[in-house]
Amino acid sequence: MIAVVLTIVFFTACTENDSRIVLPHLPESAVNFIVANDLGRNGYYQQKPIAQLMGYTAEHIDIAMIAAAGDIHHFEGVASVADPLWMTNYELIYDHPELMIEWNAICGNHEYRGNTQAILDYSHISRRWNVPQRYYTQVLQSDDGVSCRLLFIDTTPLIDKYRNDSITYPDAHKQDDNAQLRWIDSTLAHAAEKWKIVIGHHPAYAYTKKEDAERADIQARLSPILEKHKVNIYFCGHIHNFQHIRLDSSSVNYVVNSAGSLSRPAKETEGTLFCSGDPGFTLCSIDATAIRFFFINHKGEIVYSYTIPQ
């Protein structure tokens, strides 16, 4: 009992004063969601304070859901739905009442180090955890009747580095990558919604010290589909910093959401509109006139905002 009490006290420790956060004024008709990824640090490396900032945001802005874009569990994924990491990485961290909403999650490369089926099966354990398939789609609708098609995709099996390493990533090569790409193409082709957003874990275009082959595989396999169907935003994570990339030859906004815990430095590359090494999360807002997104850092500061008009 003593250990349980100490754990609860630790994970409910207060963060910095949330009252100084200045949140954006959004259209009342908008539908809003938060993008969060690269989280699982057992509350350390600013994970808990950032989680509380997410809760504060959801307390003052109506949030429809959390898009959890992979790597919820560093470093070796989870072993099962009963793994204690579900408590120390997730349940006891994102404990704000306003975060008891739907979390639409996908696997990142760190989930692929463990039992990926447990990521799906936890949907039967937690009422807020929603992973119906390894890749799936959802529609959000604003109060003014405008809808947005979101695709949550599984990028690890699209990258040869992971498929070829069956020791470290035992489930990656078992996935039918071509079937997923055909599904993405078909789903976007039949999407009648005004806005289209795709959410994956790995970036296509961004500054990173990670292997060039990772981005090259995503560029070759996924980007042509995004470009073909004029996707408005491709949200991703993986490289632990904020980046907004817009190539001259592309209509797609490639948006990298920073880590919700330990971040890494960022610098400009081809097409960079903004970059920052701060940790944090992204607030996205959609209505009839625009998609707006805001990078919010660990101090509660909006370090960048961008509007995609109709």
Instruction: Output the tens digit of pLDDT for each of the chain's 310 residues.
Output: 444 433 443 444 444 445 568 899 999 999 999 999 999 999 999 999 999 999 999 999 999 999 999 999 988 999 999 999 999 999 999 999 999 999 999 999 999 999 999 999 999 999 999 999 999 999 999 999 999 999 999 999 999 999 999 999 999 999 999 999 999 999 999 999 999 999 999 999 999 988 899 999 999 999 999 999 999 999 999 999 999 999 999 999 999 999 999 999 999 999 999 999 999 999 999 999 999 999 999 999 999 999 999 8
Q: What letter does residue 262 receive in the DSSP assignment?
A: S
pTM of the model: 0.93
Q: Residue 19: what pLDDT? A: 53
How would you write 192-252 as a 3-class SS string? Answer: CCCEEEEECCCCCCCCCCCCHHHHHHHHHHCHHHHHHCCCCEEEECCCCCEEEECCCCCCC
Q: Residue 11: what pLDDT? A: 41
Q: Residue 310: what pLDDT? A: 87
Q: How far is CA 123 from the centre of its chain?
A: 17
Contact 138, 104 (CB under 8 A): yes
Contact 218, 159 (CB under 8 A): yes
Count of residues in the chain: 310
Q: Residue 151: what pLDDT? A: 98
Q: What strand order describes the sheet that includes 136-141?
A: 136-141, 147-152, 195-199, 233-236, 253-256, 242-245, 272-276
Q: Residue 21: what pLDDT? A: 82
Name the helix (H) or strand (E) containing 56: helix 47-60
Task: Round to whole Å and give the CA distance between 233 and 227.
Answer: 10
**Selection from 63, 85, 67 nearest residue 76 by Cα:** 85
Per DSSP, helices labelled H in 99-209 are: 116-121, 160-163, 177-189
